[in-house]
Amino acid sequence: MVGTKGAETSLRLAESMLELIQRHGYSGTGLNTVVEHAGAPKGSLYFHFPQGKEALGEKAVELAAARFGSLVADSARGSATPGEMLGHVIDELAGMLEDSRFQLGCPVSVVTLEMGAQSERLRDACANAFESWIAPVSELLIAHGRPRPVARALATAVVSMVEGAVIVSRAQQSTEPLHCAAQALAVLLEQGTEASA
């Protein structure tokens, strides 16, 4: 298929950018390091991302959003309740933190904190990423009997608390903050919900 090799190189570059942002932050990730990490030809970065680092950062944020979105969707399909879904998500995040020795965090929060005030393009990418996680959680809560405005507010709180818990877990080198957040949120999510018919 025409373009397959190019698409693979583009994806490798975005995946490398994503991993390096998780480890070193956006500002601490240089383009030469990304190219080297991806094992890509030097000229390929500007071929695939002619607008440079912001374009590559945007693609990495989109990739992170899609992966976490898939985790949420898969967890929702395999769960009877919103609290159970959240438990699956938290377990996956806790495993990721432990496996990386607390070196890998959420790249979306990293980019938001570092670049949200400096780059409208990256701020928009991060806002879209967070929305892509809030929306399905909201829909799940609606399916379990929550009114739409309440579901939206709760879903926003869930994503915000989980993001914060990942940061605190990294700082403390412990998954306890994540599990504490999961316990508190499970109580909140289960109150007043009804199993969908």
**What CATH number corresponds to the domain at position 184?**
1.10.357.10
Predicted TM-score (pTM) above 0.85: yes
3-state secondary structure of 132: helix
Residue 195 lies in a domain: no
Please give the chain's pLDDT, 197 residues, in tens: 335 877 899 999 999 999 999 999 999 999 999 999 999 988 889 899 999 999 999 999 999 999 999 998 888 888 888 989 999 999 999 999 999 999 988 999 999 999 989 999 999 999 999 999 999 999 999 999 999 999 999 999 999 999 999 999 999 999 999 999 999 998 888 775 544 33
3-state secondary structure of 194: coil
User: Which pair of structure tokens corresponds to residue 79?
Assistant: 């769960």
CA distance 35 to 80: 43
Q: Which of 139, 185, 147 is nearest to 164 (CA)?
A: 185
Q: Into how many domains does the chain fold?
A: 1
Confirm if 192 and 185 have CB atoms less than 8 A apart.
no
Residue 116 lies in a domain: yes
CA distance 80 to 112: 33
Residue 152's pLDDT is what? 96
How many helices (H) and strands (E) would you count in the chain? 9, 0
Residue 197 lies in a domain: no
Residue 39 lies in a domain: yes
Residue 193's pLDDT is what? 52
Instruction: Supply the range of the domain harboring residue 31.
Output: 4-190
CA distance 123 to 85: 28
